[in-house]
Amino acid sequence: MFEQLGLIGCGLMGGSFALAMKRAGLVKRVVGYSKSPSTTERARQMGVIDVEAPSALLAVSGADVVLLAVPVAATEATFKAIRHLVTNSMLIMDVGSTKREVVDAARRVLRDHIGSFVPAHPITGKELSGVEHADPDLYHGKQVILTPIEKTQTAHLKRAQALWEGLGCHVQQMAPDSHDAAFAAVSHLPHLLAFALIHAIDGQAHGKDFLGLAGPGFRDFTRIAASDPKVWRDILLSNRVELVEQAKMFQRSLMNMLHLAETGAGEKLEEMIAQASQVRAQWHMGRKK
């Protein structure tokens, strides 16, 4: 389907994408670039990429599909680094967890070539980062959100959809702003809560002892707290407006429940728990309700 993938960022997301594309027979050759030369070399040694590019620009040269798998804060600089070789026939995508900032950067930098860019957010990940954890199954069966804008070329949008479906993904489209509100609620705020909980416990006199007593509920609840700090700093900063909105709504629910517990209002407290419990019990990943 594609001749050459230009991969910018050979970490967990980028490396897994390259492996999945190759396994699915969707690309013949992968030219990769990472900011750290040792990562690029490692990726080539592992067979994740075929050729090391000495710059982001040269990774794009000759590619018919380009994936930016860099932290969202690095997106604009990456667009700038590659724009002189971007063509209208080239499909360019990213994998960023926030979309409004990415789309704004693309508008500013790519200008006349903005139609080549199809913003993408595959909903997957691991709490372990780096090319060492690259996994051809990372995308399989997962959802991918595409957030096209009015200038996105329909042909590229269709190729992008076919590509992700070829990797076993369920694809849907949303506006960038709706995407960011939704993921502030179901991903960015939960990460922030998990970070804050660990922080609060670790900062206590007996915090280390407390952690030694924690069980499987805690293990699952805090799994995302082990996520990559740079990636998550960027996501939280990039989506701060929606994050703060979601945090306010969360605080209202939390304060309400705490107040019910403090005042011994068991009946009303049980009602709120029962509602949450029912919603969560009926939820299944990837199913729209």
Q: Which of residues 133-152 bind a second copy (CB under 8 A)?
A: 142-143, 145
51 binds a second copy, rule: CB under 8 A: no
77 binds a second copy, rule: CB under 8 A: no
Window of 74-82, 88-96, 150-158, 271-279 that interacts with a second copy by CB under 8 A:
271-279
Could you tell me where the beta strands, DSSP code E, fall in 99-256?
A: 117-118, 120-122, 143-146, 170-173
192 binds a second copy, rule: CB under 8 A: yes
CA separation, residue 191 to residues 196, 225, 243 (Å): 9, 6, 11
- How many distinct helices (H) and strands (E) make up the chain? 13, 9
Smallest gap, in angstroms, from Cβ of residue 11 to a second copy? 16
Out of 77, 155, 162, 249, the only residue in the binding site for a second copy (CB under 8 A) is: 249
Window of 23-31, 86-94, 108-116, 202-210 that interacts with a second copy by CB under 8 A:
202-210
Give the pairing of strands 51-52 and 170-173: unpaired
Window of 4-12, 59-67, 150-158, 236-244 that interacts with a second copy by CB under 8 A:
236-244
Give me the residues paired with residue 66 across strands.
Answer: 6, 92
Report residue 214: phi and psi, to 5°. -70, 145
170 binds a second copy, rule: CB under 8 A: no
Tokens standing for 186? 């179901």
Window of 1-9, 20-28, 158-166, 252-260 that interacts with a second copy by CB under 8 A:
252-260
DSSP state of 48: S
Longest CA pairwise span in the chain (Å): 68
Out of 6, 125, 136, 148, the only residue in the binding site for a second copy (CB under 8 A) is: 125
108 binds a second copy, rule: CB under 8 A: no
